[in-house]
Structure 1
């Protein structure tokens, strides 16, 4: 039994058109031109009927395309006896759909790769016997111990149980370098294990894991139609009217009906139908490759026209976790001594700042002491008995109870202090703040250069802190003490639109939904924020906002260039054909070339060379700030996550946490 080629199964009408053409050549070789004319003309009428039915269906959906020109051209070439041109027009129409499918498939290869790599199997590990059992990823439950073999995909979100491991997270974040994880660190589903087997403890089911959420976003992102594509559809009406008028004029002036057919043959361009969809698929693919999930092609169009950007503060413009900025010892103590005593006591505290103090002490290579006893006064501080004496760490009021000489230290906007006393004597203070992201100011400046000149910060923090951060990053307008509802009203009241809103927390979900373009910092942000946003940045890098806007502008520019390129080339061919200089058959071939040129131009939206060049500049240290975080983002994220671990219980005496 003869196997039907895959191409014929996928594109049966194209295959049939080619078969009819080959049959016509055979008949021509046997000197049967009349048979060839009947074959090509009859097949042309079949194609015209198929296109006519399709046109009626699109009209019911409110979309008027340029298929009417192709149908009239087929009928006209049949009537004037240009039957070879009839077949070429049919091949152009049927081949155009196949060419669009091929181009869109190339543009979407990164999105398709993401879907195909969805984890299917998990190796459940018995902690007692050490035996593994292969189960479906959907059967994994929270708390299961899993084995991930070398080069395997992590099936569900989890915490690393092994001492250390390296993972390739490029399909999730765009980060090309392997990311090192230590015991207890979070591991994302969809990341690829390195060269050593690793054990993880599942913290989510497959359905609730990061990879499945990304897949859902990708599905949503790949099934939309941008406003600029609808705009391309609207070009069909004036283009069709102009083409028919020019063809009629050529016929009237020449008195030759063949001239009418010759003009219409070159007036059947697919660019208006293909250019914009191919360009937007390319732009979405480029965004995904850069760790940015764009949920709809229309979002790229809105990004390209954005006039205003609104930022949340905590976790967006700042890192979202406190960091130690200064150690201020009093007389009799050095900075290292003060930090050692504070960190040793903070080991037994569950306060949000405890992890920051301990991490800073470890960074300086300080050795911490084990307490003989420890107790914590919730929200106030911790008291621990160490070899150096009784150490108190916490708020000024907590320290002042035992140290009358304790005094408040000077704080700038956005800072807070941790006070320390030893045996009733004031030992000094440690200053912490939620540091502004290193590239936040450059991000605001880059957005302004891209045309997003109006900026605003919305935050629930106090005005003094908000204004301090705004001054650091170059934001002019600030609204502090905002509830989620206040943020929604503030965004709705903005007049310079479209408006971009950038946030990361649960409280940002409502305002992300009402903005023209909501951008969620999804690397550590809430699921609610990611689901309500139009764009999800998978890497903890605010400068990706700039890259998203730039990709939107590049995509729209390429789409419009491709549309107008097709229109201009078609009009030029029509004018030449109106003077009888292009026979119908040659015109059909030239129009096919126009379609190919237009689609190839639209594929530039994929931006492969631009992204490769940007990555190269990052590696040699010559990239602008908005791309400079690529190499360091994974390390930065790991450090922030370490500082953010606040669920520290009060340990019994002598039980020093590892």
Structure 2
């Protein structure tokens, strides 16, 4: 919530207008009408002067808005003595600007979380017993000091503890290690590295400590390059033109033309002022921001944070939607897909044996195997006789049986007849041998989201017919997922900079990009609208995006577009309603039927009508209808999964 004091500091003109209005009301009650007139008129002229300076500045930048008509309306009401109308116009002018500023600038910390997540500390190895410390992260290390990541130099030996972020680019010194690179490359399954392999900064170490040798400084490492990409992408975005400003020139021209004709024909300069009183651009100034605030409120109610009214407008006009794969179209975490026992074993037995042995493994899939066994209610066997060969497998004595779990090559050393399991894209298998006999395999995969295909259909129904996938995964995996969910175009093996270039080159714009990882932060920033699946905690992506989905539900991305389309439609209806009513009043005023005092009052009815119409953007009934449609589809979805 914004406190009253911070609101006053941020919007001083609104606060001053309200304060002076209150003072004027008190003076009027005390019979000081002249004081009220001078107070309101003087303040109105001051605001007109401030707005005039801003208008000139914007004109030099090539932007024309409704400022001119507002300034002339203030001056006209002062000249005809309608000082109450002056204050109302000033309040609408400053209040509308404040509403739009609040809507557009709710989130101006795009890089804060990204910078906070950047590795700050490195564990530098400065001594090792018997020279063995450099070869691994085990007992040989005798002296490790914590230093700032920026102090690391190429050639330094660094200890990366389990589940820690790699601080700088380097090469692996340990025999082997597994790293989660999903936030950098989009690869959902952990990547195993061996001695001499390159390790990227920003990747997350597995469950065993590892030693790396730095090959770059923090400033030259992969993670910092992503931060720079985000900064450049954000800076390259063109500013959004205010919706009301697009109608400013014709509305101003029509108003001044009617006012001038009324003056010339009647010969009375008061007619000019009377026309401008009812031509105040309050419907343009206030209705669009109110509709935007209503649309943003509706989005928040649906678990969608929209960072500004301009974002809603861009969503409403989008033509292309681009998706990352890992964590966006898929869940982003490997799960057991199939248990494939050999003759003599059944699925539950094979899974129970694997999970019992994996209790003593640091492999990244161990947790998935154990979780799957517990989900089936299987009982795990404990043992004191288990030995792990990191990145290869585990040998465990479970009762009177020897169980080997791990890579195919490792299991073949114990059961030569072991054969590879055919895998689809994005799958990984672990193999088992029991008492020297091949027992089968367990396949893990990163499954697609259950509503991904329906979400593609929802986007097409909303008019976004071009769908694209950009991913760091290999092409077979990417094409397999694209076929499952119904995406037309695929670009695989993409680094962050490749994604940025790909989005910039798309012809049908505006372009929406949907992603979730650190590697998506630059492309989310450069897209016309970046949507982050923020529920998984990908803070960097969330902070560089224009829209953040707080619920782990891909369908909310299509709902964000629907809300944007509804909001802009209602905002335009409100603007046209205000313009139509104002034109009618201007014509009546031009013929002398509406004195300035009555015109000011009628103009407030116009403002009220446009505001009430704009408030329809809150959309409670439309949300209820959407929920009913989702509920109606749910039984069919469950049934299809069961098949």
State the TM-score, normalizing by the size of structure 1. 0.67
Aligned residues of 2:69 and 2:281 also touching (Cα < 8 A): no
The question of whether the paired residues in 2 share the 8 Å contact of 1:88 and 1:585 is answered with no
- 1:348–1:375 CA contact under 8 A, matched in 2: yes
CA separation in 2, counterparts of 1:78 and 1:398? 89
The answer to whether residue 360 in structure 2 is matched with residue 360 in structure 1 is: no
Query: Per-residue displacement from partner, 1:118-144 (whole Å, max 9, x unpaired)?
Result: xxxxxxxxxxxxxxxxxxxxxxxxxxx
Match of 1:415 in 2: 427
Structure 1 residue ranges without an equivalent (≥5)? 1-5, 28-35, 112-220, 630-658
**Equivalent residue runs for 1:413-492 within 5 Å:** 413-492=425-504
Residue 139 of structure 1 corresponds to none
Deviations 1:69-95 (A, max 9, x none): 46655665676xx64xx1342242244
Change (3 A) 1:390 1:67: closer
2:74–2:90 Cα contact (<8 Å) kept: no
Equivalences, count: 492
1:345 aligned residue: 357
Q: Are 2:92 and 1:96 aligned?
A: yes
Q: Please give the secondary structure, in 2, of the residue aligned with 1:313.
A: coil
Map of 1:566-577 to 2, 5 A cutoff?
A: 566-577=578-589
Matched, 1:374 2:386: yes
Q: Summarize the Cα distance change of 1:582–1:388 in structure 2 as closer, same or farther, 3 Å threshold.
A: farther
Distance in 2 (CA, whole Å) between partners of 1:74 and 1:482 is 56
Counterparts in 2 of 1:252 and 1:326: CA distance versus 1, 3 Å: same
Give the direction of change, closer, same or farther, for the CA distance of 1:55–1:225 in structure 2 (3 Å limit): farther
Q: Cα 1:425–1:517, aligned 2, differ >3 Å: closer, same or farther?
A: same
Indicate the residue corresponding to 2:312 in structure 1: 300
Gaps of 5+ in 2: 1-7, 9-13, 108-233, 639-643
CA contact (8 A) 1:272 1:563 kept: yes
Question: Structure 1 residue 349: deviation in Å?
Answer: 1.2
**3-state SS, counterpart of residue 560 of structure 2:** helix
Q: 1:320 aligns with which of 332, 335, 341?
A: 332
Check if 1:49 corresponds to 2:56: no
| Greater mean deviation of Cα atoms: 53-62 or 447-456 | 53-62
Instruction: Give RMSD over aligned pairs.
Output: 3.5
Worse-matched range after superposition: 477-486 or 280-289: 280-289
Match of 2:515 in 1: 503
Contact kept, 8 Å, 1:251 with 1:259, in 2: the verdict is yes
User: In the alignment, is the contact (CA less than 8 A) between 1:275 and 1:563 conserved in 2?
Assistant: yes
Cα deviations by residue, 1:267-305 (Å, 9 ceiling, x for unpaired): 123122222223223333333333333334322222222
Q: Quick check: 1:622 aligned with 2:632?
A: yes
The one of 323, 330, 352 aligned to 1:311 = 323
How far 1:514 sits from its partner (Å)?
Answer: 2.4
Match of 2:240 in 1: 227
* Aligned counterpart in structure 2 of residue 531 of structure 1, from 536, 543, 547: 543
Q: Distance in 2 between matches of 1:326 and 1:500?
A: 35
Match of 1:238 among 221, 233, 250: 250
Q: 1-side partners of 2:56 and 2:590: how far apart?
A: 34
Partner SS, residue 548 of structure 2 = strand
> Is the CA contact (8 Å cut-off) linking 1:293 and 1:536 kept in structure 2?
yes
1:563 aligns with 2:559: no
What's the offset of the Cα at 1:590?
A: 0.5
Please give the per-residue CA displacement for 1:609-650, whole angstroms capped at 9, x wherever unaligned.
Answer: 4445655776xx33789xx99xxxxxxxxxxxxxxxxxxxxx
1:18 aligns to what? 25
Supply the distance in 2 between the matched residues of 1:377 and 1:74 (Cα, whole angstroms).
Answer: 81
1:211-257 Cα distance to aligned partner (Å, 9 max, x none): xxxxxxxxxx9xx997352x423533332232122122223334444
Q: Could you say which residue in structure 2 is the equivalent of 1:265? A: 277
